[in-house]
Amino acid sequence: GDKAFAQFLTDEIKEEKKIQKHKTLPKVSGGWELEVHGTEAKLVRKIAGEKITVTFNINNSIPPSAEEDTQEQQKPDEQEPELTSTPNFVVEVIKDDTKQTLVLDCHFPEDEIGHEGEEESDIFTIQEVSFQPTGETNWKETNYTLNTDSLDWALYDHLMDFLADRGVDNTFADELIELSTALEHQEYIKFLEDLKTFVKCQ
């Protein structure tokens, strides 16, 4: 059984490498610096008096529905549909002269992806906003967190503009999806390779 499993993995790795779009991770335009730790990625950008960081994790970032629909109708020689990784991401805005960090939790609504025609709509939404003490790794549950579901739309628009002014806009979000998808695929191939090594180990 293990031999067949290892053989299957070898073929699978070959296939995945064939369809891999990016041999190296794509860059995000606008002067963002990328740090990757396993499945977590962090983009950092400094502008006058401020530091903006965007953090996301590729785990569980591929919407589930895409997989289930295609399994049945797929003809044997058809390419599998391209999987897109749309992770939630956290934007932190740190101003040099305050002790507080503005934290915005953003996500990609599942029904929004792929509607390129509509110029007006944003491809990501802000879910929650809070202030956290700068430099603290553990966020305080006791700090007020604003949920945007019940938010005045004018205030919400200002928050979106606030992000756009700092380079977090639709273009950025598109590039983040591209980066995340490439990172996810890279990690998946690495996982298959580790699994193969593990299965072959006596």
Q: Span 110-128, mean pLDDT?
A: 70
| Packing angle of the helix pair 170-200, 2-19 (nearest 10 deg) | 150
What's 9's domain CATH number? Answer: 3.10.280.10
Q: How many residues does the chain have?
A: 202
Residue 198: inside a domain: no
**Whether the predicted pLDDT of 187 surpasses 90:** yes
More confident residue, 98 or 159: 159
**Whether the predicted pLDDT of 86 surpasses 60:** yes
pLDDT band (50, 70, 90) for residue 84: very high
Total structural domains in the chain? 1
pLDDT band (50, 70, 90) for residue 63: confident
What is the model's pTM? Answer: 0.85
Which residue range is the domain that position 34 belongs to? 1-59+83-110+120-189
Q: What is the pLDDT of residue 80?
A: 58
Residue 201: inside a domain: no
Per the listing, tokens 């549950």 go with 141
Residue 97: inside a domain: yes
Residue 12: inside a domain: yes
